[in-house]
Amino acid sequence: MNKKNLVLAVLAMFMFSALSINEANAQKKKNKKNKKIEEVVAPPPPPPAPVVFSKLDSVSYALGISIAQNISNQGLKEVNSDMFAKGLEDYMKGGDMKISMEQANKMLNDYFVAMQNEKSKESIEMGKKFLAENATKEGVVTLPSGLQYKVLKEGTGAKPTLDDQVSTHYHGTLVDGTVFDSSLQRGEPATFPISGVIKGWTEALQLMPVGSKWELYIPSDLAYGERGAGGSIGPHATLIFQVELLSIVGK
């Protein structure tokens, strides 16, 4: 093979290799593109089959939720669901119950009384600890009654008397920060007679000039005591209020 033919042969081999590589790359890109298209157009998985409840199923489930809510509101966070279901079944079917209704009522009463006493004890200790620590903070004043307050803004108006009605804005929390009532959140002030509120408020309001804003720290015996109030304020709860005295009604 002469030199010219050798050059042509090498050149032909190089061009064939280049074409083969280009074709391979093109096929690779095509496959990749097709794969992407397949991924995009892949059909979605079928939706789960709908769960159909009968009317009795729905009512039974709703009843379970209602009972659980009632139990939870009373402070019981855990039950033996098997025994709960067994008691329910025995009563509903009129079968042999393991205990009488009288025994059941006594057991429940004793249990909840003991649980409430324990919660009250914890609440009393928590309140005492909070007030003792709070009394050492700058700006906090402790009165002989045990009421504590801190002036956030000093007003210049008149001070109300026990016979007055006042208009206020307030924000009430427990010592753990839980909000239980707030005229600020409702967006409108509250009006009430000074003699018609808890003792801590009655005492504090008569010391506040109109225009003042105070933070009150109220021991349980000057608030709702052992009875508590509603679902949010438990027995022996110490309360914190930010109170702004807006006006004395009619003056």
Note if 241 is an active site residue: yes
pLDDT over 60 (residue 182)? yes
Question: What distance in Å separates the CA atoms of residue 75 and residue 71, rounded to the nearest whole number?
Answer: 7
Residue 12 and residue 19: Cα distance in Å, rounded? 11
Does the annotation count 198 as an active-site position?
A: yes
Q: Going from the N-terminus, what domains does the chain have, and what CATH number goes with each?
A: 140-248 (3.10.50.40)
Confidence of residue 52 (pLDDT cuts 50, 70, 90): low
Q: What are the Cα distances from residue 170, in Å, to 119, 186, 188, 237?
A: 27, 10, 10, 18
* Active-site option among 130, 149, 217, 241: 241
What does the mean pLDDT of the chain come to?
Answer: 84
Q: Assess whether 67 carries a catalytic annotation.
A: no
170 belongs to the catalytic site: yes
Asked if residue 78 lies in contact with residue 197, where contact means CB atoms within 8 angstroms, the answer is no
Question: Which residue is catalytic, options 84, 181, 192, 221?
Answer: 181
Q: What is the mean pLDDT of residues 152-176?
A: 96
Nearest-angstrom CA–CA distance, 83 and 13: 86
Q: pTM (2 decimals)?
A: 0.65
Query: Does pLDDT of 30 surpass 90?
Result: no
Catalytic one among 149, 170, 217, 240?
Answer: 170
Active-site residue (options: 149, 224, 233, 248): 224
Asked if residues 159 and 207 have their Cβ atoms less than 8 Å apart, the reply is yes
- pLDDT at position 31 is 52
**What is the percent of the chain with per-residue pLDDT over 90, rounded to a whole number?**
54
Q: Mark whether 221 is an active-site residue.
A: no
Digit-coded pLDDT (tens) for 138-157: 999 999 999 999 999 999 99
pLDDT tens digits, one per residue of 94-134 = 878 889 999 999 999 999 889 888 888 999 999 999 999 99
pLDDT on residue 46: 78
Which one is catalytic: 71, 192, 198, 221?
Answer: 198
pLDDT of residue 42: 63
149 given a catalytic annotation? no
